[in-house]
Amino acid sequence: MRTAPALALAGVVMGLALTACSTEDATCGGGEYPVLNVGSTGSACVPNGEEPPKGYARYPEGKVPEHVGDKWDTYWNTHTLDENGKIIDAPKN
């Protein structure tokens, strides 16, 4: 039957797809969330349930990087927040 090889191949493809997702480097570890350094592109991780330290802010809702190199991680390399929480271009180094 051709069904068994097709199912086996589908299983391998699905396994590879799931593995690829799990090997991305997370922005923060389990039990933490990322915060942005106000006025620069620096970031840190804060334990869930704690407020960001002085000089840091939560990322705007819907714009939180989850993995190194993802859409929002890349975006925040050239943008930051000002002291009022407004998104601005990051200062040039």
Establish if 34 belongs to a structural domain: yes
The separation between the first and the last C-alpha atoms of the chain, rounded to the nearest angstrom, is: 63
Split into its structural domains, the chain has a count of 1
Establish if 13 belongs to a structural domain: no
Establish if 44 belongs to a structural domain: yes
Establish if 64 belongs to a structural domain: yes
Tokens matching residue 89: 């271009």
What pLDDT, on a 0 to 100 scale, did the predictor assign at position 24? 78
pLDDT in tens, 78-87: 999 999 999 9
Is the alpha carbon torsion for 41, 24, 70, 72 positive or negative? Answer: negative
pLDDT in tens, 37-80: 999 999 999 999 999 999 999 999 999 999 999 999 999 999 99
Residue 73 one-letter amino acid:
D
